[in-house]
Chain A
């Protein structure tokens, strides 16, 4: 089929049982990866933060306390559930599902390796390569707001409601910046399929990590993406959702036992999935140098090295998230909203227009440096005019309910 260039070779041609088995294997592996990595991430986070704060951290369950998360999880299975009388029971039960689904689903378009052969079928190492994967990512991250919002509302309690309303407003605000940051990559890549995006960032020479990976070409979008993704996952310093001094536990205050565990799982799974997506869009996904002394089609170069590079990059980002968690204090709500609406969104939009101008200038054979400087100048001027015409901090403005 020529019209679907990016299609996974697994799904072409006739379907036999083994194709179905391969799909099921891929789904199962994705689940195992996500669940095990959440377990290890929580443990590593506690251990690293403990190190940074001169503590020991978990060290009882298993070697170096590595089974601590598992122990906590198992404990929560045995905890009694209490649903408050004032709660809306069906929605209260539904909310944990809604909070964990987007985190799972987003992962299914992330390529974690190259093209390999399983049971005699050539296939991509990703659950599915949707032709519009980038749009799928954006749509799924938009659904993340439901879990938070409905959990807070259905509890029928003050603090969860307050926490969920302000958390959903936060998620929405940064969702807009998140989408606009993804656009920066799309302008460079010219496709919505994650497999294609990764293919364009492939490793061709030792400098590919600056010339082919998108992080440098779309630097502003990359920074905005990282900030917006951090806020989207309610990760510190944007963890207003669970500001315990103000809101007890935030939207999940009334949840106990296993349902609380699912929210907890979803929160950290989101961090991992978002890191994987950042790696896919900006850091080349599984691309990286192979082992030079082996043949290109050696099993190590085909199977192992791409996965290793992917894991290394995700681990680097995850370490950065832990570092941020240990270093930065929580943001004030007004500053959080100002950052989102007065800076990130405008800059992301202007950046999209600037990069598009440069792309068009290259195609139409204009001088790209002149075009770039004019575009940057116009964008800075536009933002300057916008900022200068806005009310200053003591200025009298209209009253709103």
Chain B
């Protein structure tokens, strides 16, 4: 177990180093840069004209894509352990996995058939 933890300690050192580096860049810049406040600097950029209020809803298709992604992510997670042991599981594993994948492809086909993958 100790060896296993040490690997993740190395990852933790890496994460810490990355945070420190970005933090140091921002910190150094804070010391170097000027600060000349002016009201106009703090309005959002809309190609020069005065900003209008944020507008209405986003297309629902974005949400469907995100949901499809969740589903395929879960699917990938289940395929991973099977993929590294395909030989060991033989035909049984292959048939089970094909059934699992077929069900999810059916879902993708349904969304596709309903026209949600078409960007109208």
Contact = CB atoms under 8 A, between A and B. Distances in A.
Q: Are any A and B Cβ atoms less than 8 Å apart in their complex? A: yes
Interface of A: 1, 4, 7-8, 11-12, 15, 23-24, 26-28, 30-31, 76-86, 96-97, 100-101, 104-105, 108, 127-131, 134-135, 138, 142, 155-159, 161, 165-166, 168-169, 172-173, 175-176, 179-180, 183, 186-187, 189-192, 248, 253-254, 257-259, 261-262, 333-334, 337-338, 341-342, 345-346, 349, 352-353, 356-357, 359-360, 362-364, 382, 386, 389-391, 397-398, 400-401
A366 to B, nearest CB: 9
5 contacts: A23-B10, A130-B8, A173-B65, A175-B69, A400-B115
Contact of B91 (A26, A191, A360): A360
Contact of A337 (B79, B93, B119): B119
Contact of A192 (B55, B58, B84): B84
Given A337-B65, A360-B91, A187 B83 contact: yes
B22 A342 contact: no
Main secondary structure of the interface of B (DSSP, over half): helix
A63 B111 CA distance: 56
A79 B30 CA distance: 10
Contact of B22 (A77, A100, A186, A389): A100
B26 A258 contact: yes
Given A183-B76, A190-B85, A341 B68 contact: yes
B87 A158 contact: no
A257 B32 CA distance: 11
A78 B29 CA distance: 7
Question: For the side of the interface on B, what is the size category?
Answer: 35 or more
B95 to A, nearest CB: 10
Contacts of A86: 43-44
Instruction: List 8 tightest A-B contacts by C-beta distance, closest first.
Output: A397-B115, A334-B119, A157-B44, A258-B29, A172-B69, A176-B72, A179-B76, A186-B83
The residue in B15, B34, B83, B108 that gathers the most chain A C-beta atoms within 10 A of its C-beta is B83
A158 B50 CA distance: 12
The residue in A79, A158, A342, A389 that gathers the most chain B C-beta atoms within 10 A of its C-beta is A158
Interface in B34-49: 34-36, 41-47
Contacts, number: 235
Contacts of B109: 386, 389-390
Nearest to B119: A334
A27 B10 contact: yes
A75 to B, nearest CB: 11
Contact of B62 (A96, A166, A258): A166
Interface string B48-61: 00011011011011
Given A7-B3, A100-B22, A157-B51, A85 B94 contact: no
A23 B89 CA distance: 38
